[in-house]
Amino acid sequence: MSRVSRLRALAVTAVLALGAAVLPATAALAANIAANPGFESGLSGWTCASGSRTVTSPVHGGAAALEATPAGSDFARCSQAVRVKPSSSYTLSAWVRGNYVFLGALGTGTTDVSTWGAPGAAWTQLTTAFTTGAATTSVTVYVNGWYGTGAYNADDLVLDGPAGDGGGTQVPAVPTGLAVTATTSSTVSLSWSASSGATGYGLYRDGTRVATPAGTTYTATGLTSGTAYRFSVSASNAAGESARSAEVTGTPTTGPPPSGTLPKRVLVGYLHASFANGSGYIRMSDVPNAWDVIDLAFGEPTSVTSGDIRFNRCPSGECPNVESDADFAAAVRAKQAAGKKVLISIGGQNGQVQLTTTAARDTFVTSVAAIIDRYGLDGLDIDFEGHSLSLNPGDTDFRNPTTPVVVNLIAALRTLKARYGSKFVLTMAPETFFVQLGYQFYGTGTGGADQRSGSYLPVIHALRDSLTLLHVQDYNSGPITGLDNQWHTMGAADFHVAMTDMLLAGFPVQGNAANFFPALRPDQVAIGLPAAPYAGNGFTTVGEVQKAFDCLAKGTNCGSYRPRGVYPSLRGLMTWSINWDRYNGSEFSLSHRAYLNALP
């Protein structure tokens, strides 16, 4: 949270981090039951993404080959349904070239398979194998590239194994429009658009088929409260099963949050308690009733690595109307009696905190607890910015961090949570650089990226069961790539929808599907915004903010970005700051309090 307006420009390029081996070329296979395997008859027999074509150069064999270019959120897949025999073994191979190329089979009835390579300009053969299920009569084989990695070529695809019975209709198209429509403590309800020619659908949860609904709705039951589940759907008929749709994430609701007690919809505001910042000092007793959570800005360290946090209230020379310490404490108690939560926020732009040692960790716990106890506060907000958090080289798994400043912060927060119990309110206000940028870059793991990239992710993940609210700062940000693999720029509804959707759907860290950051519950998430144009870069008008909230919470009023689900229990809005809001005529609190109160 900046004391002055600032813009952190990010110049990043998309890099996909994957790990697999390309298999060496093998001898020609004995049989091939795929149709038009060398694309000699154009795209006949194949269902391909828009823009796919056949070319006469480069080719691996014959006179033609496939060329397809991923664009936007599409990875340029070409697929074909092939009739097979149940309980039979098959080998699938193809010759490919390009930056990243994937080969696989869906609807096998056992374990769907895939392999990939990064052969560059040289033709390389990919190979995988599978066994069909006892009732499987059709599988879908496919080849595709990857988001933003340029054109690829494929040729001479071979599916070697016994041919199935002929006849049947064309396999239906992949279903679209999959969305979460409702959740309870143990269920997630979904719907999707009908696929022409489909006689049924396959519903997959976390990669495993769990149901075969005849219609276009399904409710998953028996789920664990607070756990994120990934869903996709396929369409089927007598000819076989389509490829699966894009995944959406659904999380059963859990009733009251695991730490602290907040209203269903909240406004969170930072109060300039230790400085005036040109916007004027507001006494605690004068904070408007619109605010549910009041973050005292800021507790700061005596030195960057000491861990010794001090909260010094604004001096009278800077804030002539500052109240006495006793009046301040009494006003805190009065706000709490009215149902408000008052937290100490640690860090901010000037408060760099690096817990490099266990001694600093323990001092942090002791000093923060002393502030909380002195004023009887409800909890703690972590607003680490600048160089407070970073990841050491080799620290690549957000689930098992090794960097001391990260490990020690996690341990300190767990200790404070244990000390104060279930009513302790824990919130975090990272910048997009430290969270959503992790979709592309995580520490130094991608081509020499900034070691701070995504460095909040291990902290959020480790504390997700104790976290009351995460309100990422959707301002003072450079362009960030969303789940649609498009750049999004602050200041408009689509930016807030895209950034929030990443938190509520989860995302593969550094593009690695095996390193997936799980979704947070919607009631744990609020959108962070500047209260006025002079409060921070990326100011968003009232109309655009409410448009974004409509899209996320109601599935209406969406712009070009469509979120992966609908999140009715999205918690609310955060702003920097209460002071700047009053300076701006209270536009933020008056407009958004009324909007949130009107939501179901």
The burial of 165, by beta-carbon neighbours within 10 Å (0-12 exposed, 13-18 middle, 19 or more buried), is given as exposed
Print burial letters for 63-93: b (CB count within 10 Å at least 16), e (below 16): ebbbbbbbeeebbbbbbbbbbbbeeeebbbb
Structure tokens at 480: 């960030």
Identify any residues that bridge with 141 across adjacent strands, giving them in sequence order.
80, 105
User: Are the C-beta atoms of residues 177 and 192 closer than 8 Å to each other?
Assistant: yes
The one-character DSSP state at 324 is P
List the one residue out of 151, 247, 144 whose CA is nearest residue 190.
247
Structure tokens at 69: 């270019």
Count Cα neighbours of 48 within 13 Å in the Cβ-side half-sphere: 21
Task: Measure Cα distances from 256 to 239, 458, 468 in Å.
Answer: 48, 24, 10
The burial of 447, by beta-carbon neighbours within 10 Å (0-12 exposed, 13-18 middle, 19 or more buried), is given as exposed
Antiparallel, parallel or unpaired: β 65-68 and 89-98 = unpaired
Three-point CA angle 194, 200, 202, nearest 5°: 95
Cis-peptide into 58, omega within 30 deg? yes
Told to judge if 385 belongs to the known catalytic residues of this protein, a careful annotator would answer: yes
> Please, which residues have CB within 8 angstroms of residue 580's CB and are 6 or more apart in sequence?
279, 530, 531, 532, 534, 535
DSSP three-state, residue 16: coil
Identify any residues that bridge with 233 across adjacent strands, giving them in sequence order.
203
Phi, psi for residue 221 in degrees, rounded to 5: -120, 170
Total count of residues recorded for the chain: 600
> Please, which residues have CB within 8 angstroms of residue 278's CB and are 6 or more apart in sequence?
none
Q: Which residue has the tokens 């907040």?
A: 262
CA 189 to chain centre: 20
Longest dimension (CA), the chain: 89
List the one residue out of 103, 148, 146 whose CA is nearest residue 124.
103
Q: Which residue has the tokens 């903010």?
A: 545
> Which of 385, 431, 544, 587 is flagged as catalytic?
385
Q: Name the residues annotated as catalytic.
A: 385
